[in-house]
Amino acid sequence: MNAIMLESGLFIATLAVLAALFVTIVKMTPFGKRITQTANRKRIEKQLDLTCPIHGLQREEQLVRLPKGEALCPHCYQEAVDGHVD
Ligand SMILES: [Zn+2]
């Protein structure tokens, strides 16, 4: 019983050390800064893809996929289909 508790305690301590090491690498090293900056760029580019210049930010699941492959704001698509602008 003590051996099992010792092993699980060792396992938890190892996980804690690995988590602390990961956080240290991401927060304090140039490599981690590069990972964070790349993630920031991807987040901003994704937000830009979801933003219509007329109607603003849209939810990704509401966008309309055109036959050519590009996504369009649902309001702009509705206006194009109706043939007028509200
Ligand atoms: Zn739009």
**How much distance in Å is there from the Cα of 72 to the middle of ligand 1?**
7
Q: What is the pLDDT of residue 48?
A: 94
Specify whether 39 is located in the same domain as 62.
Answer: no
Domains held by the chain: number: 2
CA 32 to ligand 1 centroid distance, Å: 37
Domain that holds residue 34: 1-49
% of the chain at pLDDT higher than 90: 76
- Residues 35, 67, single domain; the answer is no
Residues 12 and 34 in one domain: yes
What is the pLDDT confidence band of residue 85, given thresholds at 50, 70 and 90?
low
- Both 42 and 59 in one domain: the answer is no
Whole-number Å distance, alpha carbon 40 to ligand 1 midpoint, is 25
CA of 8: how far to CAs of 2, 11, 13, 21, 58, in Å?
10, 5, 9, 20, 47
**Residue-wise pLDDT tens digits, 53-65:** 999 999 999 999 9
Residues 15 and 45 in one domain: yes
Taking only the tens place, the pLDDT of each residue in 2-14 is 888 889 999 999 9
pLDDT at position 86 is 55
61 shares its domain with 83? yes
Same domain assignment for residues 39 and 63: no
Tens digit of each residue's pLDDT (9 = 90 or more) over 36-79: 999 999 999 999 999 999 999 999 999 999 999 999 999 999 99
Q: Does 31 lie in the same domain as 64? A: no
Q: How far is the CA of 39 from the centre of ligand 1 (A)?
A: 26
